[in-house]
Structures are given as C-alpha cells and as structure tokens.
Amino acid sequence: MTLPGPPANVRRTRVVIIGAGPAGVTAAATLARHGVTPIVIDEAAKPGGQIYRQPPDGAARPPREIYGFDAAKATRIHGLFKDLQSAAKIDYRSQTLVWNITRNEQRFRLDLLHNGVQATLDADKIILATGAVDRALPFPGWVLPGVFTLGAAQIALKSQGVAIGRRVALIGAGPLLPLLVNQYLAVGIKPVAALDVAPFIAKLRAFGGLAAQPATLLKGAYYTARAAALGCAITSNVRSIRALGDSRVTGLAYATADGKTHEIACDGIAASFGLRSESQLADLAGCRFEFDNASRQWQPLRDRVGRSSVSGVYIAGDGAAIGGADVAELAGEQAALALLDDGGTPTSVERRHTLDRALRRQSRFRRALESAYPFPAHLVANIPDGLIICRCEGITAGQLRDSIARRHPTDVNRLKAFSRLGMGRCQGRMCGHVGAELLAAHAGCGIVEAGRLRAQPPIKPIPLTSALATEVSS
Ligand SMILES: Cc1cc2nc3c(=O)[nH]c(=O)nc-3n(C[C@H](O)[C@H](O)[C@H](O)COP(=O)(O)OP(=O)(O)OC[C@H]3O[C@@H](n4cnc5c(N)ncnc54)[C@H](O)[C@@H]3O)c2cc1C
C-alpha cells in the first residue's frame, strides 16, 4: 500500500532509534514505510537485539539451532532489517554505543563511541529501544570466576556456540531458566542443577492469566517437561544459594523449601533473577520514572503509545517495561506511529487500534508472568554482612548497613554519596537496586522512598582516551 509521504518538516526531522532489537527494527520499518529515514544505532555488531542475536561472521549456524521455536521470527526480523538497509531506507550505525544524551533547547545531543572513537550526533526525535539486562542479585560466592548471569551464558551460546563450563548449574526466577536449560540440552550439555527460586504455587496461581497467551504457555510447559524427561528437572522454591570455591567456582550449595541442603560439584554457574529495563538513557534525557510494584522496578513514564514525559523522546520494548519480544515488535511500531502522528504525518487509525488491542491482550499475560515469578525478596533479606554488593568498588552489605545506621541517608543516592555504592564501572546498573532494597529494609522506609540511582554518563565504561578525542558529526 502506498502511504502519503510526510510533510516537509518531518522529512527534515532527524530521528534516531537506539537499539536494533525487535522494537527498534519495527520502529525503523514503520518510519521507513512513511518516508522517514531514521538513523539506527546499536552497540552490537549485527541487528536482532538479545533474543534474535546473530552469531559473528564465520560462526553462522542454522537459525533453528540458535533460536529454536523462534527461528521463523528471528529470520523475519533479520530479513526486514536487511531489506531496509539494502534499500537505503535506514542509516545503520552498528558497534556504536550511545553513552550519553543531553538536551539542548528542542534538540538532543548523543555522545557515541564507535571503534574507540568518540563522536556526537544531534537528533530532533529519539526512539529508545534499548531492551533489558539480567537482574543480578548478590549471593555468597557470586563474584568468583565462573559465575555468570543467565543472559551472559545464553549470549556465549548464541553468538559463539560456547558453554560456560562442562558441569553447569543454572539458577533463575523467570522464563529464561527453562529456555536456557533446553538450549544447553540441545547442544549436548546436561546442566548438573536447574534451580528456580520462585515458588511452584505462584505458577499455579498465575495459570489463568498465563493462558491468555496459550502458545507461549505451551512453549514454557514443553521446555519444563522436556528438561525433566531428559533428567534435568527444574527444582522450584529454592531458598538460598552459595557458590563454592577459592579462586574459581568448584561447586554450588543450596537449600530447598523442605529445609534440606544440597551440595554439587560444578565449574560454571549462571544465575539471574528476572530482567531489568535498560533505562539509563531515558533518565539522562530527562524522562520521569514511576515504580512498578509488580516487577519491583522503576520504569520510565510513558503514555499508552510510547510517548515519554519528554517531548520528542519515545520508548518501546523491554527498555520501557519488560514485555518480551512480541510486545517489543508491536510497541516499536506503535511508538513510531505516535512519532509520525505528532509530526503531522497521516497514519492508519485502524492499524493503531489493532496494535492497541494486541498489546492489551499481551499485558494480561505479562502481569501473570510477573506473579508467577515474584521478586525473590528472601534472597535479599538474608544477605550476610560480609557479602560484596557493589563489585566495582568492593562495598559489602555490612558497610552499607553501617552507613545507613550512622548517616541516615534518605534515599539511595545519599547512600551512594556516603558509601561509594554504584560509583564504579557499572555505574550502579548491577548493584543500585540491591542498595535500595537494603536501605528500605534497614531504614524502615518503603522501596519507593528508597528511590533509584540517578543515571550518570558514561552509562557504560568508555576509554578515557576516546572521550578526549571528540569528532563532531552534523
Ligand atoms: C541477555 C538476555 C537474553 C534474552 N534471551 C531471550 C530469549 O532467548 N528468548 C526470549 O523470549 N527473550 C529473551 N530475552 C528477553 C528478550 O530479549 C526481549 O524481550 C526482547 O528482545 C526485547 O526486545 P527489545 O527490542 O525491546 O530489546 P533488545 O532485543 O534487548 O534490543 C535492545 C538493543 O539495544 C541495544 N542497546 C542498548 N543500549 C544501547 C546503547 N546505550 N547504545 C547502543 N545500543 C544499545 C542493544 O545492543 C540491543 O541490541 C532476553 C533478554 C536478555 C537481557
């Protein structure tokens, strides 16, 4: 169908999409269909995002082998992006990190890092499609070499076909756990343990809501049943975990709900506890945030179609709220349509209603998934004093509790100032939410009052020499 072109002012508008996962790809395709050529930036070498991550050149494998049931979707998203590229409908900047956003009157300035070279890029409108990251929680031994997140273990497998060990223990609180167990089984590695810290009863209670997406529910049930059939049943309701070893991981100790403790030998552990939105760029752009109780995390405020609280900034996909790849695709298109609409480009009302209905159906499922895998508060409540919370700065739980008792910080940013929590390389991406949990528990305030660490540039580590060598692109 030929769509009417955008008005001249929209054609001159520079739109930058950050993220080439499902949300970024459908946003780019939607803009391109309406005559707008966006710049698409992604720090990865190839498009696809997390779920449809592509192996590097020379390590290609059949899509079915890498993406399993999602092979057809992965092929479609990769094909869509390739078509946009070959028709010059997008300006794609791969391997480019956006490490800062500043606002200047009505425009935005992006700081980029590409091949070690710093550059800046001005934008009139931005679609943030930055996805998510594993939610890490500290447990005894979590800083030992050989301990990874589930996402990192999966990235190694998807991109390089590499396992994190020969005897691997996988621990989680979300659908990534049964999926990764199956991905390991598919490459011939039977995990020595598959532990779920969520209670089984929570999944039973959530069943009605999960049935809103029967195909996804069946996929999860299949993974769980297949793991059990192949001798790697997932143990639910795990109460505590401890990585064992001196200079690297040699084992895992854990306690189950019946009070029994278990110890197994292993040389690799992957553990994470759900996902967290990558929302630092939204923060730097000045977007307001709200606390979402169900997922127990702060999310950038946005309206139904993805407009943030800052004019010209739109947010879609997991970077707005964890919703999964299908939601990300729909939300990317929806945010692009909102952007076009705001600039006066005619868009299909019927399509917008279809997207709206599809996203509403998905939201029932997402809420059920969050109650099936509640935040594992029991792991945080029992963090011992000697445990390192902030890996970059080596700050322990005891030091944080001491700061809270002596200095009475009123929010986690004050706690940071007193303790150096979150001041290192990761800028609090891994530890900030744990600091807030400890503050809420020990200061007796709520988790909302404890707040969230404000994002600081650079949002990811960059070489100092690159930051000094600035090259300005118009
Ligand atoms: C590690 C990991 C593994 C996952 N695996 C699965 C899976 O196997 N199956 C499944 O159903 N779901 C999986 N998920 C969830 C799933 O990836 C998401 O629901 C889905 O991909 C969301 O799509 P998105 O477009 O919102 O974000 P993503 O697909 O995450 O894409 C975001 C993109 O933004 C880029 N980006 C982020 N910040 C910047 C920046 N500052 N500068 C430049 N580029 C940036 C990233 O490189 C990435 O390519 C996984 C999530 C994670 C974190």
Whichever domain contains 439, its CATH number is 1.10.10.1100
**What pLDDT shows up at residue 431?**
95
**Residue 385 Cα, ligand 1 centroid: separation in angstroms?**
33
**Residue 419 Cα, ligand 1 centroid: separation in angstroms?**
31
Domain that holds residue 227: 136-273
* Same domain? 238 vs 109: no
* Same domain? 340 vs 396: no
Q: Does 335 sit in the ligand 1 pocket, CB within 6 Å?
A: no
Distance CA 128, CA 336 (A): 11
The chain-wide mean pLDDT, for the chain, equals 94
Q: Please indicate, yes or no, if residue 19 is contained in any of the structural domains.
A: yes
- Run of H or E including 65: helix 63-67
- Render pLDDT for 10-59 as a digit per residue (tens, 0 to 9): 667 899 999 999 999 999 999 999 999 999 999 999 999 999 999 988 87
Q: Please indicate, yes or no, if residue 203 is contained in any of the structural domains.
A: yes
| pLDDT for residue 158 is more than 90 | no
**Residue 132 Cα, ligand 1 centroid: separation in angstroms?**
5
**Residue 244 Cα, ligand 1 centroid: separation in angstroms?**
31
Ligand 1 nearest atom to the CA of residue 179, by list position: 8
Please tell me which residue, 158 or 272, carries the higher pLDDT value.
272
- Render pLDDT for 193-240 as a digit per residue (tens, 0 to 9): 999 999 999 999 999 999 989 999 999 999 999 999 999 999 999 999
Instruction: For residue 159, give the nearest of 19, 267, 49 by alpha carbon.
Output: 49
Instruction: For residue 26, give the nearest of 67, 70, 62, 73 by alpha carbon.
Output: 73
Look at residues 273, 303, 323 and tell me which one is the last residue of a structural domain: 273
**3-state SS of 370-424?**
HHHCCCCHHHHHCCCCCCEEECCCCEEHHHHHHHHHHHCCCCHHHHHHHHCCCCC
Whichever domain contains 291, its CATH number is 3.50.50.60
**What pLDDT shows up at residue 467?**
64
Rg over alpha carbons for the chain, rounded to the nearest Å, is 22
Q: Please indicate, yes or no, if residue 463 is contained in any of the structural domains.
A: no
Look at residues 220, 242, 273 and tell me which one is the last residue of a structural domain: 273
Distances (CA, A) of 409 to 279, 310, 422, 456: 24, 29, 15, 20
Look at residues 248, 273, 298 and tell me which one is the last residue of a structural domain: 273
Q: What is the DSSP letter of 318?
A: G
22-33 helix and 71-86 helix, angle to the nearest 10 degrees: 40
* Same domain? 280 vs 388: no
Which band of pLDDT confidence, cut at 50, 70 and 90, is reported for residue 470? Answer: low
Q: Does 284 sit in the ligand 1 pocket, CB within 6 Å?
A: no
| pLDDT for residue 382 is more than 50 | yes
Residue type, 1: M
- End-to-end Cα, the chain, rounded Å: 34
**What pLDDT shows up at residue 469?**
60
| 248: its two tokens | 């690297």
Instruction: For residue 20, give the nearest of 130, 116, 119, 105 by alpha carbon.
Output: 130
Ligand 1 nearest atom to the CA of residue 47, by list position: 49
* Same domain? 116 vs 189: no
* Same domain? 165 vs 241: yes
Distance CA 449, CA 160 (A): 43
**What pLDDT shows up at residue 473?**
47
Distance CA 205, CA 184 (A): 29
**What pLDDT shows up at residue 463?**
87
**Residue 375 Cα, ligand 1 centroid: separation in angstroms?**
20
Distance CA 405, CA 391 (A): 22
Q: Is the pTM of this model over 0.85?
A: yes
| pLDDT for residue 2 is more than 50 | no
By most ligand atoms within 8 Å of CB, the mutation choice from 43, 51, 115 for ligand 1 is 51
Q: Is 87 left (phi over 0), alpha (psi -120 to 50) or beta?
A: alpha
* Same domain? 205 vs 191: yes
Ligand 1 nearest atom to the CA of residue 150, by list position: 1
Q: Please indicate, yes or no, if residue 372 is contained in any of the structural domains.
A: no
Instruction: For residue 49, give the nearest of 120, 112, 132 by alpha carbon.
Output: 132
**Residue 311 Cα, ligand 1 centroid: separation in angstroms?**
25
Distance CA 297, CA 196 (A): 20
Distance CA 323, CA 154 (A): 19
**Residue 159 Cα, ligand 1 centroid: separation in angstroms?**
14
**What pLDDT shows up at residue 7?**
67
Instruction: For residue 114, give the nearest of 24, 41, 38 by alpha carbon.
Output: 41
The answer to whether residues 123 and 36 touch, using CB atoms and an 8 Å cutoff, is no
Cβ-in-10-Å burial (0-12, 13-18, 19+) of 395 comes to: buried
Q: Please indicate, yes or no, if residue 361 is contained in any of the structural domains.
A: no
**What pLDDT shows up at residue 279?**
97
**Residue 23 Cα, ligand 1 centroid: separation in angstroms?**
9
Q: Does 178 sit in the ligand 1 pocket, CB within 6 Å?
A: no
**What pLDDT shows up at residue 468?**
64
| pLDDT for residue 3 is more than 60 | no
Task: Give, using CA atoms, the residue closest to atom 53 of ligand 1.
Answer: 133
Distances (CA, A) of 42 to 8, 67, 99, 122, 279: 28, 21, 11, 16, 15
Q: Please indicate, yes or no, if residue 1 is contained in any of the structural domains.
A: no
Task: Give, using CA atoms, the residue closest to atom 9 of ligand 1.
Answer: 51
Which band of pLDDT confidence, cut at 50, 70 and 90, is reported for residue 474? Answer: very low
Q: What is the DSSP letter of 156?
A: I
- Render pLDDT for 268-288 as a digit per residue (tens, 0 to 9): 999 999 999 999 999 999 999
Distance CA 459, CA 97 (A): 10
* Same domain? 124 vs 155: no
* Same domain? 337 vs 389: no
Cβ-in-10-Å burial (0-12, 13-18, 19+) of 106 comes to: exposed
Q: Please indicate, yes or no, if residue 357 is contained in any of the structural domains.
A: no
Q: Please indicate, yes or no, if residue 421 is contained in any of the structural domains.
A: yes
* Same domain? 140 vs 269: yes
Q: Does 18 sit in the ligand 1 pocket, CB within 6 Å?
A: yes
Task: Give, using CA atoms, the residue closest to atom 20 of ligand 1.
Answer: 325
Share of the chain above pLDDT 70, in %: 96
| 271: its two tokens | 């553990």
Cβ-in-10-Å burial (0-12, 13-18, 19+) of 342 comes to: middle
**Residue 188 Cα, ligand 1 centroid: separation in angstroms?**
26
The answer to whether residues 101 and 110 touch, using CB atoms and an 8 Å cutoff, is yes
Instruction: For residue 220, give the nearest of 174, 178, 191 by alpha carbon.
Output: 178
Q: Is 309 left (phi over 0), alpha (psi -120 to 50) or beta?
A: alpha
Place of tokens 């691997």: 168
Residue type, 447: I
